[in-house]
Amino acid sequence: MFIDFANLKRMAEQSAAVTQPCNCNDAQALAWQQIPLTLELDQFEEVGSLVENAYDEPTFKEYHPAGTRLQSDDAPIAPRYYPANLSHVLRCVKCQRLYLRYTEAGGYFTELRLRALRPQLLVDVPL
C-alpha cells in the first residue's frame, strides 16, 4: 500500500510520541544505517511503501539542500528522492515506532538499511 505525504507525516508524528523503552529505539537509527545486529527483522511489520509505482524507474537523485549527506543524522527525508523513494515503512511490533527500510544494492552485495521516521525531517518537495 502506497503512503502519501500527508499520511506519512501523521504516522511520523504518532511514532515520535512513543515514549516506551524499546531495543529498536536503543539502536539510534537517526541516519540510514545497516540494520544493527541487535535487531531482528521479525521485530518489524511492514505497514506500507513510499514506492508510488513499482513499474516506474526510480530516481537516484538525493535531496540535500543544506549540504547534508545520506549518512547525516539531520538529512531530510524527501519521499520522492533516493533512498526514501525506494523505502517501505516498518512498525516495531513491541513499541509501535516507525522506521524506513530500503535495500542498498552494490555491485556484489545487498544490504538492508534502516532509518527512524522523524517528522521534523520530512519534506514534501517535487523532483
pLDDT at residue 109 in the model: 83
Three-state SS at 122? strand
pLDDT, tens digit, for every residue of 68-88?
999 999 999 999 999 999 999
Measured distance CA(15)–CA(111) in Å, rounded: 25
Strand partners, 91: 45, 98
CA-based nearest residue to 36, from 110, 97, 119, 111: 111
Q: In whole numbers, what is the pLDDT of the chain averaged over residues? A: 94
- Residues of the chain with pLDDT > 70, as a percent, come to 100
Which helix (H) or strand (E) segment holds residue 116: the answer is: strand 110-116
pTM of the model: 0.94
